[in-house]
Amino acid sequence: MSQVARSGVRVRKLTLADWANIGEVIGAIAVVISLLYVGIQVREHTEEMRATNRQQLSGGEIQYVESAGPIGL
């Protein structure tokens, strides 16, 4: 008598449909992880672009003031 029969647990082999369902679940999890990763990357890129734009705008204002020369002369 095997251990499986003694413990009362019945074991059956996985069918092709079972493997397909397991693959589908794994694929769905991978898609969710990928979407989270892309969302994080887009947010970081957006923050970098905003910082670059702020830096360029503030640099442009400084150059404009410097090029204007002394006021009232």
Summarised one tens digit per residue, pLDDT across range 12-43 is 899 999 999 999 999 999 999 999 999 999 99
4 contacts: CB under 8 Å, gap ≥ 6: 10, 11
**Nearest Cα residue to 36 out of 25, 48, 44:** 44
d(CA 30, CA 37): 11
Higher-confidence position of 66 and 35: 35
Residue 47 lies in a domain: yes
Reading the block at residue 70, the tokens are 């002394």
Tell me how many domains the chain contains: 1
Residue 60 lies in a domain: yes
Q: What's the predicted TM-score (pTM) here?
A: 0.58
Residue 49 lies in a domain: yes
- Exposed (0-12), middle (13-18) or buried (19+): which is 31, by Cβ within 10 Å? exposed
